[in-house]
Amino acid sequence: MNIDITSTAVEKGIDLVKGFVEKLVGSTLEETGLLMSDKIRLFRLKNQIKMLSKAQEICIQNNISIKQISLKTLVPLLEYSSLEEDNTLQEKWCNLLVNIVSEKERFESSVFPYILSQLSTNEVIELDDLFEKKINNPFIISLKNLNIQNLQRLGLIKIVTSLETVFYKDDFGNSFDYLQNEQNKNLNYVITELGEEFVISCKIKKLDNEKN
């Protein structure tokens, strides 16, 4: 990958996102030092600029009003995301930032950037798939080809034993439960409430005219 490391290119990149960052933290870029420090390499800086530019573009296109967020949330997000080169995970980082800074959303937890930094591309894809299956089919789903232990460690999925009752709520708020077949002795996994919140926090809601 070719990276333009000239001072002019870096300065232009910073200028593109300077105003956006200052709105988020309520102070100047020079004061916060978010993008420039001795420990941040040039390729990390490029990733930060790329993500911030994309997040700014999404906010403009979707008419999203942004709010000031704490440095405790923003700094880890910028640090973790600057290490990511995979396109799928870069998109997740961008979506997470947009949702955190949106005035209409309530994703303010500093734990989500940490969780995302701990996941591989395959784990993120499998978790998204489990989330979609759970919405469309409220029964227990067995996971395959997934790093189960890591997702359990992060509290994103949980084991359901053969006789355990699992409670769900549908889109209308109605509660119901499902008792697994007594003859099914295999362990199954369901997405947790934290897992659902995390998946939603890394998605961008479609505009009403895009849904139709």
DSSP codes, 119-143: --HHHHHHHHHHHHHHHH--S-B--
Q: Is the pLDDT of residue 117 over 90?
A: yes
Mutual angle of helices 42-61 and 87-101, in 10-degree steps? 60
Q: What is the mean pLDDT of the chain?
A: 75
| Chain center to CA of 194 | 12
pLDDT band at 179 (very low <50, low <70, confident <90, very high): very low
Q: Is the pLDDT of residue 142 over 90?
A: no
Question: Minimum mean pLDDT among 29-33, 97-101, 140-144: which range?
Answer: 140-144
Coil, strand, or helix at residue 169?
Answer: strand
- The CA–CA distances, whole Å, from 190 to 154, 155, 193 equal 14, 11, 10
Q: What percent of the chain has pLDDT over 70?
A: 65
The whole-number pLDDT of residue 10 equals 67
- The CA–CA distances, whole Å, from 11 to 7, 17, 51, 196 equal 6, 10, 16, 39
The whole-number pLDDT of residue 118 equals 95
